[in-house]
Amino acid sequence: MMIAIPSHDGMNVEEHFGHCREFLLIGVQDGKEISRESVTPPEHAPGVFPAFLAEKGANVIITGGMGGRAVDLFKSNDIDVILGAQGSIDDNLRVFLEGDLASSGSICSSHERGCHS
């Protein structure tokens, strides 16, 4: 499994994936982290990040919030979306691997109006 987590500083989850400076790609096998790589995303535009992360092998994205269209684009690229994450990447990863990190359904309604198009 490959988990993508957007970040500005490599330590905390970016609350909105479209504003991140990097994605941490964390490889997991048998419930344990086996690899971690920071990748710089291409310029943000609708559909670019889901395709980019799918190309990198991501199966899951853990993030703060995103618009409904972005959620659909990730799902169409076979990437599960966990919304509502905040704070430490390591804390969120640990809770996810324990099976206790559930999506809070934190979809940004402002993106439905196209504020970041």
Segment 19-26 shows an average pLDDT of 94
User: For the segment 24-38, what is each residue's pLDDT rounded down to a tens digit?
Assistant: 999 999 999 999 999
What confidence score (pLDDT) does residue 53 get? 97
CA–centroid distance for 49 within its chain? 9
CA dihedral angle for residue 27, residue 45, residue 102, residue 28, rounded to 10 degrees: 0
C-alpha 107/C-alpha 57 separation (Å) is: 24
DSSP label at residue 75: H
Of all residues in the chain, what percent are helix, strand and coil, respectively (each to 5)?
A: 30, 30, 40
C-alpha 61/C-alpha 68 separation (Å) is: 14
What confidence score (pLDDT) does residue 44 get? 87
Percent pLDDT > 70 in the chain is 88
What confidence score (pLDDT) does residue 105 get? 60
Give all strands of the β-sheet with 22-29 in edge-to-edge order: 32-39, 22-29, 2-7, 60-62, 80-82
User: For the segment 42-98, what is each residue's pLDDT rounded down to a tens digit?
Assistant: 998 889 999 999 999 999 999 988 888 999 999 999 999 999 899 999 999 999 999
Strand pairing partners for 32? 29
CB atoms within 10 A of CB 32: 8
pTM: 0.87
Domains within the chain, CATH numbers bracketed: 2-104 (3.30.420.130)
Q: Please say if the pLDDT value at position 7 is more than 60.
A: yes
Non-local (6+) Cβ contacts of 112 within 8 A are 67, 68, 69
